[in-house]
């Protein structure tokens, strides 16, 4: 039971702390905007610093073009009447060592929305149960059994989503399409994950990007409410004096609290506007093939500033880049601020409470039919029932 009296004084102080934080960010944002709006020789000089970051810079720095970050790109044209939006998303019932049996489930939602014609949409999901020894007891490079981590299951879910997306792209390759991913295209690497696992996941994920390239269907990773700081990281370097050590008193510290979304919310004032395209220098990008290395831009959806990640072959093709820009905006408009294809993919993928309970009931019945005791730990039972 929560006793609010214990935190009443702190609750009263929240407003004052929020006001202090807001003013600090406002001051930092003003500095970031000044640097982003540099032009001509001033931006050339700033970009020289950004392109040659000191080794002691410990933050992520985006690669910038010759255009300053303040340069905005309006929608190049109105959304076409006829096009197709493809998306996948996934969810899971994770492995629970307190559950009645050792297994986990991955459910992938698959969406194909056709606009401007008579073709019916595809709204489906594909569930896969993992229960065999090779699914539950993975082995390391030496053949030793290792614990199955949540990240390993997340990797399998990511690859299931990307494989499903590749199949949908192939089925619709003759259409005017965009394929959307409800995540960055930069694969997150878990600290402590083996090099072999990293290489395998990135290689299989890039197979989907390569398949899309072969079909000339642009793939975009859509990130809502992004917290990235790559572009601000570049602007931090533009403030550095020669020999800057990035200490507490250094000028580059003035932008520590600003996110890219805050920066572009001030720069992209009209719905549909996007930023220039930036290159990612995330360490994992080194493992991507050159054609699949990830770039990104920010755009004003009309409700928020979203980040859109694209492979190099999309970023370097003006027609495909414009298609992603236009169709992401149209999908966001149709979805009241968030791409409708991704919303539908999530709805098909999500495993809700009643479905979860039905799954465990069927699992228990399977064990009983095979004369296996359906054992649950007391902790599992306590989670599903209440004594008081």
DSSP labels for 99-158? Answer: SSSS-EEEEEEEEEEEESSSPPPEEEEEEEEE-SHHHHS-B-TTS-B----HHHHHHHHH
Question: Are the C-beta atoms of 62 and 233 separated by less than 8 Å?
Answer: yes
**DSSP 8-state code for residue 220:** E
With 0-12 CB in 10 A as exposed, 13-18 as middle and 19+ as buried, what is 9? exposed
Q: What is the set of domains in the chain, with CATH numbers?
A: 83-225+275-349 (3.30.2170), 353-384 (no CATH)
Of the two residues 177 and 242, the one the predictor is more confident about is: 177
- Residue 118's pLDDT is 86
pLDDT for res 169: 97
pLDDT at 375 over 70: no
For CA atoms 345, 348, 349, 354, give the dihedral sign.
positive
Specify the higher pLDDT residue, 139 or 4. 4
The confidence score (pLDDT) of residue 56 equals 63
- Averaged pLDDT for residues 332-360: 93
Distance (Å, whole) CA 324 – CA 330: 10
Helix 318-334 crosses helix 340-349 at what angle (to 10 degrees)?
70
Contacts of 131 (CB under 8 A, 6+ apart): 101, 102, 103
Give how far Cα 211 sits from Cα of 56, 86, 186, 198, 216, Å: 39, 14, 17, 20, 9
pLDDT > 80? residue 189:
no
Which of 111, 108, 198 lies closest to 158, judged by CA? Answer: 108
Higher pLDDT, 90 or 254: 90
Question: DSSP per residue over 285-315, as a string?
Answer: GGGS-GGG-EEEEEEE-SSSEEEEEEEHHHH
Tens of pLDDT, residue by residue over 279-326, are 999 999 999 999 999 999 999 999 999 999 999 999 999 999 999 999
> CB-hemisphere CA count at 13 Å for 60?
16
Mean pLDDT of 6-23: 83
**pLDDT average, residue stretch 245-261:** 85
Q: How high is the pLDDT of residue 386?
A: 55
Q: At 378, is the pLDDT very low, low, confident or very high (cuts 50, 70, 90)?
A: very low
Mean pLDDT of 25-31: 89
Give pLDDT, residue 261.
97
Residue 367 has pLDDT above 90, yes or no: no
Confidence of residue 85 (pLDDT cuts 50, 70, 90): very high
User: Which is more confident, 58 or 380?
Assistant: 58
pLDDT given for residue 1 in this prediction: 83
- Report the mean per-residue pLDDT for the chain: 89
The model's pTM: 0.89
Q: Is the pLDDT of residue 344 over 80?
A: yes
DSSP 8-state symbol, 90: E
Record the tokens describing residue 63, joined without a space. Answer: 């690669």
Answer whether residue 278 shows pLDDT above 70.
Answer: yes
Mean pLDDT across 144-167 = 89
pLDDT at position 121, please? 95
pLDDT at residue 377 greater than cutoff 50: no
Residue 197: pLDDT band (50, 70, 90) is confident
User: Does position 215 have pLDDT exceeding 90, yes or no?
Assistant: yes
How confident is the model at residue 178, as a pLDDT? 98
Is the pLDDT confidence value at 225 over 80? yes
Tell me the percentage of the chain whose pLDDT exceeds 70.
Answer: 93
Least confident of 2-16, 30-44, 277-291, 349-363: 2-16
């Amino acid at each position: 039971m929560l006793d609010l009296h214990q935190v009443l004084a702190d609750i009263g102080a929240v407003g004052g702390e929020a006001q202090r934080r807001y003013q600090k960010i406002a001051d930092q944002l003003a500095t970031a905007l000044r640097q982003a709006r540099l032009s001509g020789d001033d931006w050339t000089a700033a970009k020289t610093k950004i392109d040659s970051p000191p080794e002691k810079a410990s933050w992520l720095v985006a690669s910038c073009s010759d255009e300053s970050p303040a340069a905005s790109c309006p929608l190049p044209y109105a959304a076409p009447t006829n096009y197709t939006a493809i998306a996948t998303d996934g969810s899971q019932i994770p492995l629970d060592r307190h559950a009645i049996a050792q297994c986990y489930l991955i459910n992938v939602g698959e969406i194909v929305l056709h606009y401007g014609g008579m073709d019916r949409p595809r709204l489906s999901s594909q569930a896969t149960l993992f229960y065999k020894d090779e699914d539950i007891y993975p082995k390391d490079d030496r053949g030793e059994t290792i614990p199955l981590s949540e990240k390993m299951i997340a990797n399998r879910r990511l690859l299931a989503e990307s494989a499903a997306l590749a199949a949908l792209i192939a089925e619709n390759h003759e259409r005017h399409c965009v394929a959307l991913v409800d995540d960055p295209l930069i694969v997150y690497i878990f600290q402590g994950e083996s090099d072999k696992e990293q290489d395998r996941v990135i290689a299989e994920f890039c197979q989907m990007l390569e398949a899309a390239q072969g079909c000339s269907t642009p793939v975009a990773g859509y990130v809502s409410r992004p917290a990235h700081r790559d572009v601000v990281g570049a602007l931090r370097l533009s403030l550095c004096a020669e020999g800057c050590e990035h200490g507490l008193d250094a000028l580059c510290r003035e932008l520590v609290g600003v996110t890219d979304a805050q920066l572009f919310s001030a720069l992209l004032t009209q719905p549909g506007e996007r930023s220039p395209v930036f290159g990612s220098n995330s360490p994992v990008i080194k493992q991507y093939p050159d054609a699949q290395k990830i770039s990104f831009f920010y755009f004003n959806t009309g409700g928020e500033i979203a980040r859109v990640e694209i492979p190099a072959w999309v970023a370097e093709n003006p027609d495909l880049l414009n298609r992603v820009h236009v169709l992401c905006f149209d999908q966001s408009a149709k979805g009241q601020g968030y791409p409708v294809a991704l919303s539908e993919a999530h709805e098909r993928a999500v495993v809700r409470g009643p479905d979860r309970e039905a799954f465990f009931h069927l699992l228990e019945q399977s064990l009983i039919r095979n004369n296996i005791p359906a054992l649950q730990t007391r902790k599992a039972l306590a989670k599903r029932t209440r004594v008081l």
